Amino acid sequence: MKTVLTRDFLALILSVAVVGLGSGATLPLTALALTDAGYGTAIVGLLTAAQAFGGLLVVPATAWISTRFGSRQVIVGSVLAVAIATVLMQFCSNLWLWALLRMACGAALMLLFTIGEAWVNELADDTNRGRVVAIYATTFTLFQMSGPVLVSQIAGFTAWRFAICGAIFLIALPTLAAIRTNAQTTDLHEPHGSWRHVLPKMPALIVATGFFALFDTLALALSLLPLFAMGHGIDSETAVLFASVVLLGDTTMQFPIGWLADRLGRERVHALMGVLVAVLLPLLPLAIATPWLRWPLLFVLGAAAGSIYTLAIVACGERFEGVALVSTSALVSASWSAASFGGPIVTGALMERAGHDTMLWVLLACALMFLGTLRWERARGIGGVRA
């Protein structure tokens, strides 16, 4: 990338890192505060769902908002909205108001991530897109993972913990101000930029995002992977490491896989990662009893699963531009929200009837669906279309 674009990319990455840290801390902090107040997991779940619902509400208007007000202004406004909503949670205790504030956070974060992903794609080109998007995804993941650590440090400041968390978001504003360029804009009435137009051209990208959102929510966020391991006779101390090794593979291998996609072609590597996941998931119950095999398998599984999402973002930049790219990113974000919200409900009900191994078969079904839609796209030449 040119010098100006490189500087703008680094500034955007730093601002996204700060937002990742803040968002990674907000949800566990909300859960902690509700638990301290005597509420159960049902209320925690509803507040989490409120944030996801707020994000879904804003999806149809994301492209219009971006083109009407400008990408930089919308991102700055989103950061301010999240910061203010988080701070306000410090000074009220009404659950209905908290739900509205979480919805506001969800809507603002949806706008921020949607436009941020589209902007990163526009700062890249087809020769380095895989590596650029991989840096973006890895940075956000690392800082989001640090959120719970931050919560552990500020949990004792009961009177100020939400205010501290909200103030963290504001650190992103100076780095956003350092960005010189702006994301592309197009005519507000561009007929080919609406989500209705781009949706038929990206079924595999929607499924890819849904798969990884489900993988991330079930195996990692809800800690079902360690529970799966303990169900197969692994002690709890070792089982906890399962999720850590998967995360290690996810965070460390995105750049090498992005580099490989830039060299060999994104579509080919995307399909390879899907095949790897589809092969490794059924092998996991057999590999658990073999220590030398389980750890490399988990590492590769994490790398492959994470890259399915990263390469979906890369594909968005390959296929779309301008307002169509913003609409595409909004649909990707909506797929993530819907899968992470509805997937655990369905999977949890199935697991109650059929046991912890059901998680693997649900994930395998989603991986096979991704490969099927990827093949369907290739047969119709959709991957080569640029809108």
DSSP string, 291-315: HHHHHHHHHHHHHHHHHHHHHHHHH
pLDDT tens track for 24-75? 888 778 878 888 888 876 777 777 778 888 888 888 888 888 888 888 888 8
Q: What is the pLDDT of residue 383?
A: 63
- pLDDT of residue 188 exceeding 50: no
Check if the beta carbon of residue 385 is closer than 8 Å to that of residue 201.
yes
Which parts of 46-132 are beta strand (E)? Answer: none
Segment 254-270 mean pLDDT: 93
pLDDT of residue 205: 94
Structure tokens at 204: 């595999």
pLDDT at 244: 84
Q: 70: closest CA among 303, 323, 268, 254? A: 323
The pLDDT confidence band at residue 222, using thresholds 50, 70 and 90, is low
Query: Residue 234: left if φ>0, alpha if ψ -120 to 50, beta else—which one?
Result: beta
The letter for the amino acid at 328 is T
Structural domains of the chain, ranges and CATH numbers in brackets: 3-184 (1.20.1250.20), 195-382 (1.20.1250.20)
- Between 221 and 279, the more confident residue is 279
CA–CA distance, 358 with 338 (Å, rounded to integer): 20
- Quote the pLDDT of residue 15: 87
Contact 262/135 with Cβ under 8 angstroms? no
pLDDT at 153 over 70: yes
User: In this structure, is the dihedral angle defined by the CA atoms of residues 340, 147, 227 and 216, taken in order, positive or negative?
Assistant: positive
pLDDT at 30: 83
Among 181-185, 271-275, 316-320, 378-382, the range of highest mean pLDDT: 271-275
Q: What is the helix (H) or strand (E) element at residue 369, kind and residue range? A: helix 358-379
Mean pLDDT of 86-104: 90
